[in-house]
Structure 1
Amino acid sequence: MTAPVELVEIVDAELIDDEGPAPATPPAGRPLVDHHTVLRPGQEIPTAGNGPQYTERDLYVSEETARALDEAEGQEAGPMRAFRTWCASEWRVAIPCTTATYTEYGRHLMGRGLKLSTIRNYMSRIRTSMPVGLKPDNSLYLQLLRDYRKKNKKASRIKQAFPITLPYLIPMMETAEADGRPIGWRDAALFAFGYRFLGRRIEDADVDIEDLTILDDRIKVWVVKDKTHQDEEQEIILHDRPDLRLVARVRRWISYLASQGVTKGPLLRHLLKDGTVASLETRQKTATVRGVYLRGHTVNERVQLWFARAGLVSDGRPVSSQGLRAGGATDLAENDATDEELEEAGRWAKGSPVPRKVYARAARQGKRDPFAKVPMYGHKIAQPELEGAAMSQQTGTQLYTFIADRLDEEMRKKYEEGRGEGAVRRYADELREAMRLHQVLTEAAYANDGARVDEHLQKLTERAATWADHAEHPLKAVAGSAIP
């Protein structure tokens, strides 16, 4: 007889240590969600397990792309390059920099005595170059900058370029073209284009031949971006005029480039001493960044060269390539262009204070003298103590201003009548002579040299006699004065 078998319940279990139960089996993948995740009803939570599986192929770039990235890094803006160099010399990390490093560099720039606007520009570019979320706090730097401004009045003053208006621009172009050399043709085209385009010097230098559509009375310029419009293409129309001869000058230069086998690429290029266009191989020996494109610094040098060779004199403000942009804007402002027209012509941002503050307001103030309402002291009642050098200097200034205005009127009238050839040259020569007479008279007045004052006052009076019947002749307002 078989012994009965005891029924034993078999439990499906696992052995565990005394510390406690074994951890639960982890999920197939870690949820990939953050506070931006949005799921629709019924949609599963994304996890690492059901996401894409990357290989080395997805992580490496090609050699061509690597070289392009290296070149892009090499084109880093000047302020950031200078910051990296300074950080290396100070054994500091440049990117991402700490707030202490950022503040210390700001104080370093102030220690160099830089302009307030320059420091602001540099520090803003550096901060913008930092990775998102790792930008330094600028509050301490701004605190130092406020103190720097209080203690350095000159640092707040913005040095503006001398405006190269038409009476200065045209003699420069005519002088450049006088000997018929290709480099003069290039510079004349550069000056005419820069004045009418109202571009910054690097924007002028970056224009390609393909960007231009040249018609008989205008030039259309395709601009992919500029300082104000970074992500907006534009087509700028530059209407020509008889005194500027923009179309003729640009066409002549482009024709010369074509004769050298250049039909595309930079409009403005470097030339060798024999007049041939410099090749890319030649330029890369010294210009590793700009290549065949004209450097902004070169544009500046050419403006200064032809301004001096044309025998022109500024009012003390520096002569630079910015003067082309300032000259066009000044001519517009002095001829009653609206703020909006200035904005559009110079492609300033809408509402920018620059066209209003720098050009429009200055032009209006130049035309309006509130003290003109005050009667001229000593003209109706003789005042012996005022009838010396001081009074003569005042009269000389009035005569010089009157002569300059009349010369300008005559030049513009001749252009309107189609008799402008050579008019600007004569205008510049006569204006320089009047300016010289006035300057000598002023120096003699301060030296209390009565004889020289009288001599040069007489010369100014004789020159102004050309317009003796003009209603604004200054000597008509002086009681008892006779106009020779």
Structure 2
Amino acid sequence: MTLHDQDEEIVDAELVEDGELVRAALAPRLLIDRHTVLRPGERIPTSDNPGPGYTERDLYLNEATAKALKEAEEVESPQRRTAMGLFEAWCAEQGQVAKPCTTKTYTEYAHHLMERGLKVSTIKNYMSLIRSSMPPGKKPDPSLYLLLLGRYRRKNKRALRRKEAFPITLPYLVPMMKKAEADNRPIGWRDSAMLAFGYRFLGRSVEDVDLDIEDVTVLDDMVLVWLAEDMTHKGEEQTLYLHDREDLQLVFRMRRWLDYLAEQGITSGPVFREVKRNGSIPSSETRAKRATKRGDYLRPQTVNDRVKLWFAAADLKTDGRPVSSHGLRAGGATDLGMNEATNEELELAGRWKKGSRIPRERYVRPVKNAKADPFKKVPTHNPDAQTQE
């Protein structure tokens, strides 16, 4: 085609003066997505009619609300702080944004955990905590990481093995309590009460250290505990009746510790607190300087450390499973299960969800399996007896 031919293809053209060209008006854009819900008669929002006109006053929090929100974010679980701390450190090394993170960053971090050879349950817990820490509407897509995890699970069978705590049953618990209070010091009184309570309460260590004096009533034969809620009963208050036992001496140990706190002028706030070497209790002001997040409340890790200390001090041995504060909960459940407690009684004592398989499968069955030996039914082979025949 020649230039002349191209010119001949122009038809219906019209010359206009400068400034007469007008851009065609664009149709209004619909401001909807898959979450849009309209009521009968309500107009579909468009770019020409977007709806209410928001100002800065509709977007910025006032100072009081912003402060309260910041404090609420700081009072998060130790597990979440650990997971996010590790994730943020890794993101800093990689030069990537940690919060809110992209799906790509989220997936790569999961692969990083797999390359470290972590347990499947640990990886899933970390990734769940990280994802739930992201702002609303900005959570990463977990489908890619779960695809990698499925492959990792198939190729690394050892990564499926759970890390179970050694159950601290009464034969282990009683020597630990006696060792703790052997020197008759306040810190030993606290620890023996904490051990007895942890076993009978069947609580998680965070529940033990979050307990307030106002929520505990010590009677002559039992300890009453009021709970606003727990991990499996959100928004459901409970009153627990912890009956005492001769070998546990829960009432004596809790009363001795609470009476000592009262002598120090402490009748409210956390039950279990820091004790100095001289036996005194640090003031709230002193604790606030060193424990900026927990204040007067002990860290759950403190319970863990004291359990390990007194287990070793009592010269006790495990079957290879690690000693931790969770062993108190495991020990109580194991003692119940091994002494014919029903499923309902186990669930009630440990506040597990109705129908939960955890107490039976994790605490009772392993002990019964270890003791069961079907080959006991087989007579011992005696070659001499065969010769005589």
Measured against the shorter chain, the TM-score band is 0.7 to 0.9
Which residue is 2:336 aligned to? Answer: 332
Query: Residue by residue, what CA displacement relative to the aligned partner does 1:34-86 show, whole Å, maximum 9, x if unpaired?
Result: 842335xxx8769999x878766555444333322223333452213332332
Which residue is 1:272 aligned to? Answer: 276
Residues 382/254 of structure 1: CA separation in 2 closer, same or farther (3 Å cut):
farther
Which residue is 2:39 aligned to? Answer: 38
CA distance in 2, matches of 1:282, 1:44: 59
1:82 aligns with 2:83: no
Residues 97/320 of structure 1: CA separation in 2 closer, same or farther (3 Å cut):
same
Which residue is 1:69 aligned to? Answer: 69
1:106 aligns with 2:106: no
Of structures 1 and 2, the larger Rg is shown by 1
CA distance in 1, matches of 2:100, 2:354: 34
- How far apart are 1:103 and its partner, in Å? 1.0
Pick the aligned partner of 2:322 from 293, 318, 321. 318
Which residue is 1:416 aligned to? Answer: none
Q: Secondary structure, in 3 states, of the residue corresponding to 2:152?
A: helix
- How far apart are 1:379 and its partner, in Å? 8.4
CA distance in 1, matches of 2:42, 2:301: 61
Which residue is 2:170 aligned to? Answer: 166
Q: Aligned partner of 1:263: which letter?
A: T
Query: Residue by residue, what CA displacement relative to the aligned partner does 1:333-391 show, whole Å, maximum 9, x if unpaired?
Result: 110112222222112223333112112322433453211111122387399xxxxxxxx
Q: Secondary structure, in 3 states, of the residue corresponding to 2:217?
A: strand
CA distance in 2, matches of 1:147, 1:54: 48
Residues 153/214 of structure 1: CA separation in 2 closer, same or farther (3 Å cut):
same
Which residue is 1:404 aligned to? Answer: none
Matched positions, count: 356
Residues 212/46 of structure 1: CA separation in 2 closer, same or farther (3 Å cut):
farther
Deviates more, 1:317-326 or 1:180-189: 317-326
CA distance in 2, matches of 1:106, 1:45: 45
Residues 379/250 of structure 1: CA separation in 2 closer, same or farther (3 Å cut):
farther
Does the 8 Å contact 1:333/1:363 carry over to 2?
A: no
CA distance in 2, matches of 1:170, 1:65: 49
Query: Higher relative CO (CA 8 A, sep ≥ 6), structure 1 or 2?
Result: 2
Pick the aligned partner of 1:211 from 204, 210, 215. 215
Residues 261/379 of structure 1: CA separation in 2 closer, same or farther (3 Å cut):
farther
Which residue is 1:286 aligned to? Answer: 290
Q: What do you get for the CA RMSD once the two structures are aligned?
A: 3.0
Pairs within 5 Å for 1:46-445: 59-76=59-76, 77-78=80-81, 79-378=83-382, 381=385
CA distance in 2, matches of 1:96, 1:61: 20
Structure 2 length-normalised TM:
0.82
Runs of at least 5 residues in structure 1 that lack an aligned partner in the other structure = 1-16, 384-484
CA distance in 2, matches of 1:81, 1:229: 28
Which residue is 1:437 aligned to? Answer: none
Q: Aligned partner of 1:72: which letter?
A: A
Q: Secondary structure, in 3 states, of the residue corresponding to 1:285?
A: helix
Deviates more, 1:200-209 or 1:353-362: 353-362
Q: Secondary structure, in 3 states, of the residue corresponding to 1:170?
A: helix
CA distance in 2, matches of 1:258, 1:334: 39
Residues 57/146 of structure 1: CA separation in 2 closer, same or farther (3 Å cut):
closer
Query: Residue by residue, what CA displacement relative to the aligned partner does 1:427-458 show, whole Å, maximum 9, x if unpaired?
Result: xxxxxxxxxxxxxxxxxxxxxxxxxxxxxxxx
Q: Secondary structure, in 3 states, of the residue corresponding to 2:193?
A: helix
Runs of at least 5 residues in structure 2 that lack an aligned partner in the other structure = 1-18
CA distance in 1, matches of 2:367, 2:320: 18
Q: Once the two structures are aligned, what percentage of the paired residues are identical?
A: 60
Q: Aligned partner of 1:70: which letter?
A: K
Residues 224/82 of structure 1: CA separation in 2 closer, same or farther (3 Å cut):
farther
Q: Secondary structure, in 3 states, of the residue corresponding to 1:219?
A: strand
Which residue is 1:442 aligned to? Answer: none
CA distance in 2, matches of 1:56, 1:144: 43
Does the 8 Å contact 2:214/2:268 carry over to 1?
A: yes
CA distance in 1, matches of 2:383, 2:231: 54
Residues 54/144 of structure 1: CA separation in 2 closer, same or farther (3 Å cut):
closer
Q: Secondary structure, in 3 states, of the residue corresponding to 2:385?
A: coil
Which residue is 1:477 aligned to? Answer: none
CA distance in 1, matches of 2:137, 2:236: 27
CA distance in 1, matches of 2:66, 2:146: 38
